[in-house]
Structure 1
């Protein structure tokens, strides 16, 4: 998922683009996914008479420009079509049609830019050429007149400006002298068929200037006939749309490529991934989707600044591109996340040396001015069609495998395993269920008397936890406590037990009952750095309770594996006045020697340990 810096960066790019287009001499309007107007530049205000705030507030701004519902539907259909130029005549505020040439560009965020060129002069020249000599001379569109044999008999100054030929060089020759060679015979056959049957043709065509440069133009040809219906002339009106093509290409690049690194973005990756999947199905081959996240990139940003982080991303993208084959794809999704798409892999093992090389080039130091930065890569990999899912789900699976690489120590790659992911999802659901149970008070404490076998008296109570499950009923500790082990909820449950026991002891104290209550402490809870401090704070909340009324039990195994840390915690608890008991003593090695090393309140021995103690053994 993109981070905050990436979102701001994209917003800045789009904002800068919209600001430039706002001052463009072209007609520029923009719509969001809901069809509301988000851009209406100054040229649109000048040409149409509608102000920006009026368009912005209108629930269907296209209705102002195209009152005819059928025309409006036709315009909307072009929003999702290809990027060809199309001619429309939206109405001005005064109700006057404004003939114009439009192209639609879809931005990465789903917004639509419509860029138009006013061709009203060209249209007037098409219909009133004989009566508009001044328009003929002053028009910015090229106007060329030929006789019935298609020989050029007159051109206006714009023709010379566009083609580079003087009028004298064109007269007597055919327009074929401008042909670019990019169109085949079928293209020209269709043009002449339209002229012969409909007396006009309109479309985009590529021609060649005098200096040999190819250029695109929007061309309209009309056949003129006399009163007798006999063909007399052809009139061609055209405009150079080179700059419009450049602007369109720029917008297309912005829509498909990452502005920082110049590599494909998420939109272009999605297109290439779909193509690669189709090719893999057709050729019975396979491809790999690798989700790469940089380890340590945030530290570079924090310590060296975001400009340095940007330079690092550029350098890493250059290194990654150098590891790819010609038909592979590298894309940046945002922040420090990249995707590598490897197509036409003969075997899974063929990817191993490539991934090893990727890890090497990423982990090499990057020089940033006077400093050096080190990052590494965590990579998640999935294969298609082995992982036979959609393109979006392939990326999700590779992302999950990447997080597994993070958990396994970073600077490595991991392959997506649907069975492992299913187990992780089960653990996640269990964790959610436990957290909900804690929040909703589903855990209960029962108090079991501890009887002195020598005199039969109750020496204290032991707190036993149960789960009043809303569906499964009352559950014993063996049914759920193991799920807490090693996760963040183990501490939360332990704290809840301590506070609940202290609250119950306090109520008994008020009733004149002075009882000692023991409770079991999990190993991870006991080994928390602030365990003793948290226990001290809990005791201070109940000042009537003598600390000795609380006895903490823990398993011997926790003490054996973390002996020094356990001793420190126990010494602190001892100073607080809390009793300490060792539960299940003798289940580990060196049991008796450890038992002798500390002053325990109580110890509960296993059968094996009690059997090894002689009557003279001192504990």
Structure 2
């Protein structure tokens, strides 16, 4: 019986070898592999039952318990269910008294196999020879107990005899089959890992495997693509075949010292392709050791970084060179200036920065187009480069601004200045030659500012600023000339920066206040006053606009001054509205371009009027002609919006800008203001007088008021009245004064002086347009 069981188990185990084929070829094929695996296990059980030991009463003993338990352990639940289902159907078909016992063996083998797989998956039990032997003993002891429980008194002895033989054979068969399946699984994993390794070997990086003596054993296709060497050309060769010769012996000695110490090295290295081309690559080398710690191989991976290096060089070039002329830009110039200052501090020899700006270049751009201007700049850059020494630095800072740095002039400042001036004169002569563009011929003129240095007292930015200030001085002197930097210029710049900070602080402290200058009509009645901004500086006292307004414009703070004057004017309107003697007075504010074109200006102005309680019909805004030219359509739209709220408008300094009948027709104007320059010269200059006559006639035809500012003599006043001018302002009637002094002047002169305010309220209301106080933030 034992021999027969051994034969049966051997047959089943042989049939299970088919499973190895399935695992190798279909094991990773998802559902198909699972189904075929279960089918093979089930058919193996069927074949085993066909050749099994059959005892009296239909009791069958075979190795199906071994096969089904292994199906559950190695194949999983679905494989075991399929195999068990096939075995159960066949056993049911065989029938006999032992049918239910045989069915219970199938179920027991599957369940115990699942349990073993479950605990093994959670690292509770190992999958080894001894654990499989114990599992086989447990399985078949339980199987024997189960069969004895289902046997009768007649068959117990027979079942016991067959069961003892089963206990002797089947645990060993379990170990045998399990060991075979373990090896099959291991082989499958090894093959998969080999496939993965082979795939990984053929990556984008070049790979090179050598023995401990650096003889090449294997390369991948990427290696061949990078170096140009095919595998058969380098295998057996030393890896030094790739050496470029750019690195000295110390470089390679350090590399091997690190490899020996750590089994790792990486860094950038220059190697040589098969065609002799030298190229940069990023190389990583790893040493491989066996289980005994002996070095067996080196594995090197390489990346060709030629494109990356070229990109880095391109980025650095863009960061340091001008894109149009390919000259050094400000960044590179600063680097070289720093080097020159360090050198000068040691040698005491002076260097010079020459700041060049071309006069009228913007007009060339506007007339001929930016593309033509770019061509001219390239021609200029070429001429400058050819005119300088190789040791000099030529840089383009932007637009038509170039800087030349000339080093090692002389250790005597005066002599160095003379040489720098000679260099500037030479550049002017070179640049002054004719430029020909097809049929077009051009001459260029250049203003040059020069600063000298021979130490590190100033930074590169400061030195460039000094040269630029000198260039601006050259332009102010008439252009096409040369100027040296004067320390007084730097002091002026520093003073301007300090003034900017003071203005910013003064705005926050509300130190800017309105001063009023009287205005009269032709009958000598005071109509009001023009407000002139004054700054009550805490240290410097009262300052006029000539001191601060230009700096405020450059710093972008003039609109804040305008808003403060506007707010105070509206506040005063509201106060005058309460008194009968001043209720008819109106106010007007002169606006800067920045304020007029601010998107929220209209909302700000209406808010100020509402907050102060001033009557908008008593407010007049004065605009200069140049403001309107900036954006005529926007100006017209905003003026109409404000006109709808009752606000009136006047053109200030009329006749000094771009006077045009077109905008006089389109704009909602109420008044023209004759500039004081015409009034000042009207007696001696017939042209000024003619202009005033024309303005008055034009205003009369357009039904606009005319007011003359800057009236200082009775002769001017009388002549303006004869011409037809109806309103006047100037020192003849009063200088700018504080608000309280202006109000005292009004009250003191009301009964007897030509300076008077009409108390006829009904008449005032009928002639609102003729009774306007002009409040102006004078710039």
1:526 matched residue in structure 2: 680
**Following the alignment from structure 2 to structure 1, what is the Cα–Cα distance between the partners of residues 278 and 421?**
47
Change beyond 3 A, Cα 1:534–1:201: farther
- Structure ranking higher on relative contact order (CA contacts 8 Å, 6+ apart): 2
Q: How far did 1:426 drift?
A: 5.9
2:387 aligns with: 323
Shift of 1:208: 1.0
1:183 counterpart = 2:337: no
Residues 210 and 216 in structure 2, CA contact (< 8 A), matched pair in contact too: yes
Match of residue 536 from structure 2: 470
Structure 2 residue 408 is the aligned partner of structure 1 residue 376: no
Task: Say if 1:534 and 1:132 are closer, same or farther in 2 by CA, change over 3 A.
Answer: farther
| 1:553 matched to 2:713 | yes
Cα deviation for residue 407 of structure 1 reads 0.6
- Name the CA distance, whole Å, in 2 between partners of 1:426 and 1:546: 41
* Aligned: 1:133 with 2:206: no
Please state whether the residue corresponding to 1:470 is helix, strand or coil.
Answer: strand
Note the C-alpha offset of 1:171: 2.7
1:150 to 214, 217, 220: 214
What residue number does 1:223 align with?
287
Check if 1:310 corresponds to 2:374: yes
Query: What is residue 276 of structure 1 aligned with on the other side?
Result: 340
Q: What's the offset of the Cα at 1:221? A: 1.1
Structure 2's unaligned 5+ residue stretches are 1-192, 411-415, 520-528, 554-580, 585-674, 733-779
Alpha-carbon shift at residue 144 of structure 1 (Å): 1.6
Residue by residue over 1:489-508, the C-alpha shift from the partner in whole angstroms, topping out at 9 and shown as x without a partner, is 9xxxxxxxxxxxxxxxxx99
- Cα deviation code 1:548-575 (max 9, x no counterpart): 99964399xxxxxxxxxxx9x9988864
Greater Cα shift, 156-165 or 249-258? 156-165
The equivalences for 1:326-341 within 5 A come to 326-341=390-405
Counterpart for residue 261 of structure 2? 197
Deviations 1:121-141 (A, max 9, x none): xxxxxxx999713432x3332
2-side partners of 1:428 and 1:537: how far apart? Answer: 47
Aligned residue runs from structure 1 range 276-295, under 5 A:
276-295=340-359
Change (3 A) 1:372 1:571: farther
Match in the other structure for 2:479: 410
Query: How many angstroms does 1:181 deviate by?
Result: 1.5
2:422 maps to 353
- Deviation sequence 1:453-493 (CA, Å, 0-9, x none): xxxxxxxxxx9x999873589999xx989989x99x9xxxx
Over 3 Å counting, the alpha-carbon distance change for 1:382 and 1:227 in structure 2 is: same
**Which stretch shows the higher mean deviation, 205-214 or 168-177?**
168-177
Q: For the Cα contact (< 8 Å) 1:180–1:206, is it kept in 2?
A: yes
Q: Which runs of 5+ in 1 are unaligned?
A: 1-127, 448-462, 490-506, 511-520, 556-566, 584-619
Distance 1:189 1:573, change over 3 A: farther
Q: Distance in 1 between matches of 2:339 and 2:490?
A: 27
1:296-307 alignment to 2 at 5 Å?
Answer: 296-307=360-371
Corresponding residue of 1:253? 317
SS in 2 for 1:183: coil
Q: How does 1:156-171 map to 2 (within 5 A)?
A: 156-171=220-235
Q: 1:365 to 1:232 in 2, by over 3 A?
A: same
Partner of 1:411, secondary structure, is coil
Cα 1:228–1:546 shift into 2, 3 Å:
closer
Offset of residue 527 of structure 1: 5.2
What is the deviation of 1:196?
Answer: 0.4
> Is this contact kept in 2: 1:290–1:381, CA < 8 A?
yes
* 1:232-261 CA distance string (max 9 Å, x none): 221211121111211221222112211111
Q: 1:547 to 1:179 in 2, by over 3 A?
A: closer
**Change beyond 3 A, Cα 1:469–1:194:** closer
CA-CA distance at 1:533 after TM superposition: 6.7
Measure, in 2, the Cα distance between the counterparts of 1:390 and 1:440.
37
Secondary structure of the 1:267 match is helix
Give the total of aligned pairs. Answer: 402
TM-score, normalization by structure 2:
0.43
Name 1:395's counterpart in structure 2.
464
Aligned residues of 1:291 and 1:379 also touching (Cα < 8 A): yes
Work out the CA distance in 1 between the residues paired with 2:497 and 2:695.
29
Partner of 1:19: none
Contact 2:676 2:708 in 1 (8 A): no
CA distance in 1 between partners of 2:291 and 2:693 (Å): 106
Q: Is the 8 A contact 1:300 1:373 kept in 2?
A: no
When residues 526 and 429 of structure 1 are mapped into structure 2, their CA distance, relative to the original with a 3 A threshold, is: farther
In 2, distance between residues paired with 1:470 and 1:328? 51
Shift of residue 374 of structure 1?
2.9
Partner SS for 1:133: helix
User: Partners in 2 of 1:576 and 1:313 — Cα distance?
Assistant: 55
Residue from 226, 237, 254 that aligns with 1:173: 237
C-alpha RMSD of matched pairs (Å): 5.3
Alpha-carbon separation, structure 1, partners of 2:383 and 2:219: 55
Deviations 1:148-203 (A, max 9, x none): 22122222232222222233332332111221111122211121011101111111
Evaluate the alpha carbon distance shift between residue 408 and residue 134 of structure 1 in structure 2; reply closer, same or farther with a 3 A threshold. same
Cα distance in structure 1, aligned partners of 2:206 and 2:533:
86
Query: Which shifted more, 202-211 or 546-555?
Result: 546-555
Report the Cα distance in structure 2 between the residues aligned to 1:415 and 1:570, rounded to whole angstroms. Answer: 52
- Relative to structure 1, the CA distance from residue 283 to residue 570 in structure 2 (aligned partners, 3 Å threshold; closer, same or farther) is farther
> Counterparts of 1:420 and 1:571 in 2: how far apart (Å)?
46
- Return the offset for 1:301: 0.9
For residue 206 of structure 1, the aligned residue among 263, 267, 270 is: 270
Distance 1:268 1:231 in 2: 50
- Distance in 2, matches of 1:338 and 1:466, equals 42
Residues 467 and 191 from structure 1, CA distance in 2 versus in 1: closer, same or farther, beyond 3 angstroms?
A: closer
Per-residue deviation, residues 278-324 of structure 1 (Å, max 9, x unmatched): 22223222221222211111111111111101101111111111122
Structure holding more helix per residue: 2
Q: Secondary structure in 2 aligned to 1:233?
A: strand
8 Å CA contact 2:345–2:456 kept in 1: the answer is no
User: 8 Å contact 1:363–1:376 — kept in the other structure?
Assistant: yes
Which of 230, 236, 253 aligns to 2:300? It is 236
Alignment of 1:586-605 (within 5 A): none
| Equivalent residues of 2:534, 2:544 under 8 A apart | no
* Residues 168, 414 of structure 1: alpha-carbon distance in 2 compared, 3 angstrom cutoff: same
* Alignment check: 8 A CA contact 1:296 1:374 kept: no
